[in-house]
Amino acid sequence: MAMDSRPTAEQISRLPKALLHDHLDGGLRTETIIELAEEIGYTKLPTHDPAKLADWFQESCDSGSLVRYLETFSHTIAVMQTRESIERVARECVIDLARDGVVYAEVRGAPELFTQQSLSMNDVVEATVEGYKQGMTEVAREGRKIRVESILCGMRQNNRSQEAAEAVVKYRDAGVVGFDIAGPEDGFPPTNQIETFEYLRRENAHFTIHAGEAAGIDSIKAAVEICGAARIGHGVRIVEDIDMATGKIGPIAANIKEKKIALELCPSSNVQTGATESLVGHPIDKLEKLGFTVTINTDNRLMSGTSASKEIGIVVDNFGWDFEKLEKVTINAMNSAFISESERSEIIEKIIKPGYAKISGE
């Protein structure tokens, strides 16, 4: 099969994938939510039927509002307040990603959200990393290989980002690779956290910033030019600085393109939150053609009813992407990962390129 042909759904499922933007508390199995809720006596779930609960999450997130989208997390956060529950969710996350062909993932979460009972932020970080380790060990027994690292988020509407940033530095050699700010974007610019970003830069710590989703181009500019983000979470509204009809690029977008700052695009989620109007109208294809460093991500697998394979299938179905373009975007993700250059290169050369060569050549 020629490298320039489109992969089938079955081939997509087997392609090696890299994820930069996946939220731990947005990817729970519905069966797990129900079981954990029953264990702790949590009675606010809309249904205890796994299939119906999955539908409820996705339908609730199809409102076109980031605020309402974020409200659904109250249920997943409620059942993740113990070390055991966090370890379980993290372990299952790794298993689910690996079985979908993901070979590298940076999964993020805000430790502060899971300290409503007795856990400290450090407890949360350690439980998360332990769960990832358990998951990686388990899938290795299935003959699968995946590396999962943690990104710690601060909630932009709260005042605990510095604590999360300090945990990034503390655990940077123990399963944590970077920092992010998450939560409601509009009204909470990244510059509110400027002291934390300055701290991270002094410590040579990696960070990405949610920007250009609910807020526009000014949010992206602040994230990159003031705060110093190495990647942009979503960033879909970068199109506000591009004449999409002519391809003329404005100064903010040009800076991001020139510096190869990765855009962590999440097609299904971007439609759900109203960041873009439709899947077929998603700017990922045009941005890739214009030379931006685009990547394909899941954001919240539960809320979007999605997976890495499904998101890749979306771009294949809507834009006709072939093996060659998918491999390029996968390598984009690996080259933008928050691990060392030698580790990135090893995954690219030993897993991604051979995997694409084998599957595209069938």
Closest CA relative to residue 91, chosen from 38, 127, 55:
127
Helix (H, G, I), strand (E, B) or coil at 232: strand
List 232's β-bridge partners, or say none: 209, 263
Reported residue count of the chain is: 362
Tell me if residue 92 is catalytic: no
List C-alpha distances in Å: 230 to 56, 204, 213, 224, 264.
35, 12, 17, 7, 11
Q: Judge residue 84's burial from the number of C-beta atoms within 10 Å of its C-beta, 0-12 exposed, 13-18 middle, 19 or more buried.
A: exposed
Q: For residues 15 and 2, what is the distance between their CA atoms, to the nearest angstrom?
A: 15
Sequence-distant (6+) residues with CB within 8 A of 142 are 98, 99
State the sign of the Cα–Cα–Cα–Cα dihedral 172, 234, 321, 306: positive
Closest CA relative to residue 284, chosen from 226, 244, 251:
244
Q: Of 112, 213, 264, 311, which is the active-site residue?
A: 213
Q: State the catalytic residues.
A: 213
